[in-house]
Amino acid sequence: MSKRVIIFTMAVILLCVTRVFAVEYSFENLYPVADKFVTTEKTSPFGWDEKPWIYIELPEVGYKHDVTKLFWGDPAGDGDSLFRKANLILRDDNNRQIWVSFTDERWSNIKELGEWDVYAFSKLSFPGSGSPVSIIEKTSVMVTPEPVSSMLFIIGSLVLAVRRKFCFSPPIESRHS
C-alpha cells in the first residue's frame, strides 16, 4: 500500500471517531418573548407598537460563558440592513438566562413589518481548556401592523370603492338632432 492511501485511511478513521465522540452544544431555549424577564415564548406576531425581546437559556454544562451576540436580519433581507445587538454578560454559575432587545429609540428607528431572522452566537470556554466552543442558532420574530390600522385601511378602501361606484355616474352624452 502506498503511503498516501494509509494516511488518507487514517484521516478518515480519525474524522469518524471524532464525529462519534464529539459533544454538540445548543441553547436550552432560544425564542421571542413579550418582555424582559418573561420566559414564555410569544408565538403570536409582535404588533407595530411592541418591541420584541429574545430569551436565551444557555446549556447547563461546566463552562464559563464568555460572550453572547445577536444578529438581527431585517425583513427586506438585503445585506446592508443587518443590525447587530451584542450582549456582553459574563456568565456566573447562577446565571444561564439572557434577555436581549434594542433600546426603545433604536427599535423605533429600525423597525419594519415582516419576519426578522435573529441569529444568536455564544462562545463557551471550559476551565483548563484552551479551545472555546461556539453555539450558533436561529430564531425569528414576526412584526405586523396593529389591527386597528389595518381595519381603518380596509374600511377606507371600501368607502372609496363604494363612492366611486355609486356616486359618480358616467358622463351623459349630448344628443344633437
The two beta strands, 82-87 and 97-100, are unpaired
pLDDT tens profile 79-119 = 555 565 555 555 555 578 888 888 898 888 888 889 998 88
Q: Which range (5-14, 77-86, 138-147) has the least confidence?
A: 5-14
Q: How far from the centroid of its chain's Cα atoms is residue 79's Cα?
A: 15
5 found inside a domain: no
C-alpha 56/C-alpha 68 separation (Å) is: 9
56-83 mean pLDDT: 73
Q: Across all residues in the chain, what is the average pLDDT?
A: 75
**Domain coverage including residue 53:** 24-164
Does a structural domain hold residue 1? no
In the chain, the percentage of residues whose pLDDT exceeds 70 is: 59
Q: Is residue 131 part of a domain?
A: yes
Number of structural domains, the chain?
Answer: 1
**Domain membership flag for residue 176:** no
Does some domain include residue 171?
A: no
CB 33 within 8 A of CB 16: no
Q: What is the pLDDT of residue 163?
A: 75
pTM, entire model: 0.66
Residue 14 scores a pLDDT above 50: no
Strand partners, 65: 124
In a domain, 118, yes or no: yes
Lowest mean pLDDT among 13-17, 95-99, 128-132, 162-166: 13-17
- C-alpha dist (Å) from residue 57 to 35, 54, 132, 169: 15, 10, 18, 65
On whether residue 11 sits in a domain, the answer given is: no
- What local confidence, expressed as pLDDT, does residue 21 receive? 42
Whether 63 is covered by a domain: the verdict is yes
Q: How does residue 53 score in pLDDT terms, banded at 50, 70 and 90?
A: very high
Cα separation values, 10 from 19, 91, 103, Å: 14, 39, 53
Q: Is the pLDDT of residue 142 over 90?
A: yes
Give the domain CATH number at 48: 2.60.40.1930
